[in-house]
Amino acid sequence: MQKREIGRSGIYVSPLAFGGNVFGWTADEKTSFELLDAFVDSGFELVDTADVYSRWVPGNKGGESEVIMGNWLKKSSKRDKIIIATKVGKPMGDEKKGLSKAYITRAVEDSLKRLQTDYIDLYQSHEDDKDTPLLETLETFDNLIKQGKIRAIGASNYSAERLREALKVSTDNGLAAYQSLQPEYNLYEREGYEKEFEQLCIEKGLGVITFYSL
């Protein structure tokens, strides 16, 4: 199967991702394990989740999706078969949110523990945090890459203006840059991506991992 590079990250994936928001929501652990096995055994590898999944389910606190993935990784021993993408920034309760150095540093450790792995392939800003300077956020991500805790970074729910600004901050300061964008894009919702982001992604060589694709 032909693979595509996520931006210029050096990470290559098949052109189909599995959305992990269903783990701990519409799919219990047993079903999630079966889905992950079938996905990987079919030759795919990119599984996209977030620390906040599936906090919206009554009784859940967030982190359920990552926990299920971690349990599957422990049982299956297939860490080398998948590319893990997860996210940080959405509210997790008790003022746990945002993209400050303090919060990202704490959140990545929590995600690593839940996922039962020592590194995350693609760590994404789940939403923009205008209360934190972009430089602070990107310096923090850069340090995590140098520490080997993450391999590359991506952005989700950014405006084109802020994404362009973030890329410039990385370039100007010699920091790791966002290698991917996660926008909503499907046959019905096309205009937002095509008008606002498509040319920017082509210009900057960003990988695009869409949500609500089906």
Q: Determine, yes or no, domain membership for 169.
A: yes
Cβ atoms of 183 and 159 closer than 8 Å: no
pLDDT of 24? 93
| Cα–Cα nearest to 110, from 128, 89, 137 | 89
Q: Determine, yes or no, domain membership for 124.
A: yes
Q: Determine, yes or no, domain membership for 99.
A: yes
Q: Determine, yes or no, domain membership for 64.
A: yes
53 is catalytic: yes
Q: Determine, yes or no, domain membership for 36.
A: yes
CATH number for the domain that contains residue 9:
3.20.20.100
Exactly one of 12, 53, 123, 158 is catalytic; which is it?
53
Q: Long-range contacts: 65-69, Cβ < 8 Å, 24+?
A: 65/20, 65/21, 65/22, 65/23, 65/24, 65/25, 66/20, 66/111, 66/114, 66/115, 67/24, 67/114, 68/23, 68/24, 68/29, 68/32, 68/33, 69/20, 69/23, 69/32, 69/36, 69/114, 69/115
List, for residues 19-67, the tens digit of each pLDDT value.
999 999 999 999 999 999 999 999 999 999 999 998 999 999 999 999 9
Q: Determine, yes or no, domain membership for 54.
A: yes
Q: Determine, yes or no, domain membership for 155.
A: yes
List, for residues 182-206, the tens digit of each pLDDT value.
998 888 888 889 899 999 999 999 9
Q: Determine, yes or no, domain membership for 214.
A: no
pTM of the model: 0.95
pLDDT of 174? 99
List, for residues 90-149, the tens digit of each pLDDT value.
998 877 889 999 999 999 999 999 999 999 999 999 999 999 999 999 999 999 999 999
Domain count across the chain: 1
Residue-range definition of the domain harbouring residue 35:
4-208
